[in-house]
Amino acid sequence: MEKLGRNDSCWCGSGKKYKKCHEAFDDKILQFARQGHMVPSHDIIKTREQIEGIRESGKINIAVLDYVAERIKPGISTEEIDQMVYTKTTELGGIPAPLNYCGFPKSVCTSIDEVVCHGIPNEHRILKEGEIVNIDVSTIYKGYYSDSSRMFCIGEVSEEKKKLVQVTKECVEIGIKNVKPWTFLGDMSEEVHKHAKENGYTIVREIGGHGVGLEFHEDPFVSYVAPKGTEMLMVPGMVFTIEPMVNMGEAGVYTDEEDGWTVYTQDGLPSAQWEVTVAVTEDGCEVLVY
Ligand code: MF3
Ligand code: CO
């Protein structure tokens, strides 16, 4: 951390003197760092104004998902979903964050059944009765990024898959309840993982959540298999996603070598995911995008 004089103006941009603003906050963080914990750097702690920007971006994200929710059904292609996302996002003044991100060719990720995440929309991939699909929408609005995803059941779906979708949603809700300042990301993830395990499921280890807001993917990486007391300290102003990928079978996954994106379960069994963006507050968290 940079050395600021107590009478210098605070790094957060409030205009207040450091001693009257974030000095005690920084001292508290420093104590955790001295105990060997991973702690956030200033650049991932958002101001009130930045959080407001992310919340506004999130409103578009939510509206786009609502728009898709009203139209998704058996017989439509994932390409049509991509068009809905592009059209609705731009109509509302946003930019779809996935489009051209590290070479991703579409505006949204559409991940069906054994596809864990990062499925690429395609005109030949028609949604069929009985499938479960994750629609992962991310928006840039006035420079602020928001990220959330939902599962959709296409027509009548087996009880087994319905349960996977429901338990995964519960995992995210448990995650939200366990975001508390001055505790660790591992405290949250242990509870999420426990719920998945209690239902006979596994959670993907290699891919997880991430800081978000000023960029698409910021620090920290958010694991959902880390134990209590590990991973980064949560402090007010941090913004990150809760997005566990829950597998019906084994946790192993692999990435399609040809397209470089699509992630599948190793055993071919279904996987589900819900995603929200949260901001850590003084006494818990605020869900910015659901
Ligand atoms: N929305 C995904 C996430 O939650 C990121 C997808 S990257 C993309 O992190 F390029 F595939 F869009
Ligand atoms: Co995300």
Check whether 2 has a pLDDT greater than 60: no
Measured in Å, residue 96 CA sits from the centre of ligand 1 at 11
Cα–Cα nearest to 237, from 64, 90, 88, 21:
21
Residue 256: the pLDDT is 98
Q: Each residue of 258-270: pLDDT tens digit?
A: 999 999 999 999 9
The average pLDDT across 232-237 equals: 98
211 close to ligand 1 (CB < 6 Angstrom): no
Check whether 227 has a pLDDT greater than 80: yes
Check whether 33 has a pLDDT greater than 70: yes
Residue 151: the pLDDT is 98
**Domain residue spans of the chain:** 40-289
Burial of 68 (0-12, 13-18, 19+ CB in 10 A): buried
Measured in Å, residue 178 CA sits from the centre of ligand 1 at 24
Measured in Å, residue 241 CA sits from the centre of ligand 2 at 6
What's the CATH fold of domain 40-289?
Answer: Creatine Amidinohydrolase (3.90.230)
For residues 159 and 157, what is the distance between their CA atoms, to the nearest angstrom? Answer: 7
Q: What is the average pLDDT value for the chain, to the nearest integer?
A: 97
Q: How confident is the model at residue 54 (pLDDT cuts 50, 70, 90)?
A: very high
109 close to ligand 1 (CB < 6 Angstrom): yes
Residue 3: the pLDDT is 76
98 close to ligand 1 (CB < 6 Angstrom): yes
244 close to ligand 1 (CB < 6 Angstrom): no
- Which atom of ligand 1 has the smallest separation from the CA of 97? 12
Residues within 5 A (CB) of ion ligand 2: 147, 241
- Which atom of ligand 1 has the smallest separation from the CA of 243? 4
Structural contact between residues 130 and 155, judged by C-beta atoms closer than 8 angstroms: yes
Structural contact between residues 15 and 48, judged by C-beta atoms closer than 8 angstroms: no
Check whether 1 has a pLDDT greater than 80: no
132 close to ligand 1 (CB < 6 Angstrom): no
The average pLDDT across 227-235 equals: 98
